[in-house]
Structure 1
Amino acid sequence: MQTAPNKDALKRRLDRYFWDNHSGEMVFLRRLINENFLEFNRIAVIGGLVRDFAYKGRSGFRSDLDLVIDAPKEDVSELAVLLDAKPNRFGGFGCKQGPWKIDFWALETTWARRYVDVERLEDIVSCTFFDWDAIAYDLRKKKVICSEGYLRKIREKELDINFLPNPSPLGNLVRAVRRLVLWDAHAGPILRNFINEHLDDGSLKFIQEKEIELYSHAISTQWRTAAEAKKALLSNVRKKK
């Protein structure tokens, strides 16, 4: 399936998947959402799932489920106890429910609030590191939340940084390497600067070790030096039409 041509088409993809899909995994997920998450007035799926559906539809979905909840953190903590969810690194909670690995957190605990105002669900898309992740799907309103130029950047295969402050620059270097290569994307100007600044022989070694630890196929082991890696990652620049 091709990249969604517009937000309406993407909304239809997501509506069908969440609400008209009768596979076992989705019947399970709907029951889980209805019984535990829709007690909150506003809740959205953020990042991976929505991004993958925008990029290639259901066939492109390879991520877990990330949920942000616009509710007091105490209420979200109570839900975590109910679901036997454990705290994760970024102020939220993670749990395994049937076939699903789910991470969720209260909007007010979003770590980026130390840098920018995050007062409503729509603000969350301004806080993702990569611009391709800057998209959400409001489960109650069945609404896609993203910028006007979001789908154009995916169609043009330009991956850039959306929000630069982040708690894990090395972790994002790993993700940048894998995304640029596996998605055959080119780096936007801010991501190019980030790679030039942070990728050296020491960080390349970290990336290689982390890929070997986490993935069945390591991308970065093909390069012996950071100079080789930079040449490969930064040479794929979209030609002007």
Structure 2
Amino acid sequence: MVSKHDKLHLKKQLQYEVSYLYRRNNSRWKSAVVEMLRDLKKTTERAVFFGGTLRSLLISRLFKQRHGRPRDIDIVVSGNSVDEVKRLFGDRISRTTRFGGLQLCHENWLFDVWPLENTWAFKADHVKHPNFSDLPMTTFFNLEAIAMDVWNEPGYQRQIYSADDQFFDGILTRTIEINREENPFPELCVVRALVMAAELEFRLGPKLVSYVVKHGETLTPSDIEQVQISHYGHQRFHSHLMKDWISFLATEKSSDTEGTHRLPLAQQQRFWSYDR
């Protein structure tokens, strides 16, 4: 049973890990992050870190006993349109993301930045006046249903937005589950679910198992390979191995439709360690 005390501890730990990003020391990579956030603050009313960035910071501390270094940083801004972000950071734009945001590059760091109202779920649901507190309800995975203020008010901790705390429940139970099923890229959700479960060695919840089986059984190894390359830039796991995982989950689901399931992992078949 997950207790309120356990979740409160995780929230305090996450606030500490985020504040660590702002502490200047001899780490060159941190200086680049601080510089980017400083420039963003000059032009943006409010902003939050979102999703996988926060998960990476917290999991690195909990399971590896060290400060995290995310592969990239997801930031949602309020008060700026995409065109305004383009104008302000035009020399740092590397590409437009699949959801219409912008990927900015600064000293080999990648920042995915988009306006709050451009969040796909808000547009799909025709939400006219979204708030940062609504963001956790927009993610496909429970382990991305989290946001936190980039800047804190003087004398106060950064505000955490976690809705019903699915994010912290998932961390504590080591379970990946669906938060919001509607998503325009089901094949990507399948691949990311498998990669995340394998790298974190977390279990998949019953809704996610059903989703992976439903949308994954029609994927070929070539499809899986292309999705990995498109999203990660390379293969994280052998595509045939991931296809075997889908078949394994289909068999497991047929005998237990309500339980959680762990992938049959073979460490030597891993390509790269998980950082997103």
1:230 equivalent in structure 2: 250
1:85 is displaced (CA, Å) by 4.7
1:175 is displaced (CA, Å) by 0.5
Structure 1 residue matching 2:88: 3-state secondary structure: helix
Q: Distance in 2 between matches of 1:233 and 1:63?
A: 33
Contact 2:76–2:113 under 8 Å retained in 1: yes
Contact 2:210–2:253 under 8 Å retained in 1: no
Among 92, 116, 133, which residue is 1:107 paired with? 116
Q: Distance in 1 between matches of 2:136 and 2:180?
A: 9
Among 131, 134, 143, which residue is 1:120 paired with? 131
Structure 1 residue matching 2:100: 3-state secondary structure: coil
Which has the larger displacement, 74-83 or 170-179?
74-83
Among 144, 157, 161, which residue is 1:145 paired with? 161
Structure 2 residue matching 1:19: 3-state secondary structure: coil
TM-score under structure 1 normalisation? 0.83
Contact 2:56–2:70 under 8 Å retained in 1: yes
Q: Distance in 1 between matches of 2:220 and 2:195?
A: 14
Q: Which amino acid aligns with 2:182?
A: P
1:98 is displaced (CA, Å) by 0.4
Q: Distance in 1 between matches of 2:106 and 2:207?
A: 37
Structure 1 residue matching 2:103: 3-state secondary structure: strand
Q: Distance in 2 between matches of 1:198 and 1:205?
A: 15
Q: What's the % identity of the aligned pairs? A: 21
Contact 2:75–2:112 under 8 Å retained in 1: yes
Q: Distance in 2 between matches of 1:48 and 1:222?
A: 24
Q: Which amino acid aligns with 2:11?
A: K
Contact 1:38–1:140 under 8 Å retained in 2: no
Among 25, 29, 37, which residue is 2:29 paired with? 25
Q: Distance in 2 between matches of 1:221 and 1:85?
A: 32
Contact 1:95–1:101 under 8 Å retained in 2: yes
1:179 equivalent in structure 2: 196
Structure 2 residue matching 1:13: 3-state secondary structure: helix
1:202 is displaced (CA, Å) by 3.2
1:8 equivalent in structure 2: 12
Contact 1:158–1:187 under 8 Å retained in 2: yes
Q: Distance in 1 between matches of 2:76 and 2:229?
A: 30
Report the count of equivalent residues.
236
1:169 is displaced (CA, Å) by 0.6
Q: Distance in 2 between matches of 1:53 and 1:4?
A: 16
Q: CA RMSD in A?
A: 2.9
1:72 is displaced (CA, Å) by 3.5
1:91 equivalent in structure 2: 100
1:46 is displaced (CA, Å) by 0.9
Q: Distance in 2 between matches of 1:136 and 1:81?
A: 26
Question: Which consecutive unaligned segments of at least 5 residues does structure 2 have?
Answer: 1-6, 153-157, 263-276
Contact 1:159–1:180 under 8 Å retained in 2: yes
- Residue 178 of structure 2 corresponds to residue 161 of structure 1: yes
1:227 is displaced (CA, Å) by 2.5
Runs of 4 or more above 6 Å deviation: 232-236
Q: Which amino acid aligns with 2:74?
A: D
Among 188, 202, 205, which residue is 1:188 paired with? 205
Q: Distance in 2 between matches of 1:80 and 1:193?
A: 42
- Residue 226 of structure 2 corresponds to residue 215 of structure 1: no
